[in-house]
Structure 1
Amino acid sequence: MLTVTSYANRTSTLDGKQFFSLELTSDDPEIVLSANGRYYITTKKCYMSATFPEAVCKGMLGKQLPGTISKVECEPYEFVIPDTGEVITRNHRYEFLPVVANV
């Protein structure tokens, strides 16, 4: 399961229109070994575009959605680690994968 933990106002790079996206956070924590040899605990997060107005996005906070977050390869891009300000190059992103019911 994934939990809606936040939302953000975004601007489309195609047409400049504004929209909201929901931040989804995995309920399964992971233990990770950092580059400096120390362990830390984290969860996977991703954003999913929404057609909802801001009031509905606020109401979605805390709701759970069935699905997982998958690591997907992509073109390399620069990413700033929020806690340290360090700029790194990534070649992956995290994507929402819904649970598909068998019919």
Structure 2
Amino acid sequence: MVTVSDYKKRITQEGDEFLVLILQGGVEAVKSNTTGKMYFTAKQCSVPTTFDELTCQSIIGSQFPGTIEKIQCDPYEYISESGDTLTLEHRWQYVDNTEEMIAEHLVEDVEVI
């Protein structure tokens, strides 16, 4: 399950404004690569929407089936909250596995003679 935690305004390359929902997955325990200590985090991603601002505000806290998964992509630069510039080769994406689950449980039609 993922939870709508917020929404943000974004601007397209053409200058058009649109809204995205900020989705957050469940809490996970992770071990730090630098300190070796455990900490808690939750994966987040944004998903474009056709909703207006009032609708986005009203669905904060709503939950949807699915997960947030790491997807490989072309390298790009990212500026962290601390101001460091990082080169990343992945992004986080919302994956709704409803269609997968339906496909797994479908029974093929059989011809009755």
The TM tier, using the shorter chain, reads 0.7 to 0.9
Aligned mates of 1:37, 1:89 — CA distance in 2: 23
- The root-mean-square deviation of aligned C-alpha atoms, in Å, is 1.6
Give the TM-score of the pair, scaled to structure 2: 0.80
Aligned mates of 2:15, 2:38 — CA distance in 1: 41
Give the TM-score of the pair, scaled to structure 1: 0.87
User: Which residue of the partner structure matches residue 72 of structure 2?
Assistant: 73
How far 1:60 moved relative to its partner?
1.0
- Is the CA contact (8 Å cut-off) linking 1:34 and 1:40 kept in structure 2? no
Once the two structures are aligned, what percentage of the paired residues are identical? Answer: 33
How far 1:96 moved relative to its partner?
0.5
> Could you report, residue by residue, the CA deviation over 1:21-66 in whole angstroms, capped at 9, with x for unpaired residues?
0000001423131334443221110000000000000001000011
Q: Unaligned stretches of 5+ in structure 2?
A: 107-113
What is the aligned length? 101
Q: Unaligned stretches of 5+ in structure 1?
A: none
Q: Which has the larger radius of gyration?
A: 2
| Structure 1 residue ranges, 4+ long, deviating more than 2 angstroms after superposition | 34-40
Of 67-76 and 29-38, more deviation after overlay is shown by 29-38
User: Which residue of the partner structure matches residue 96 of structure 2?
Assistant: 98
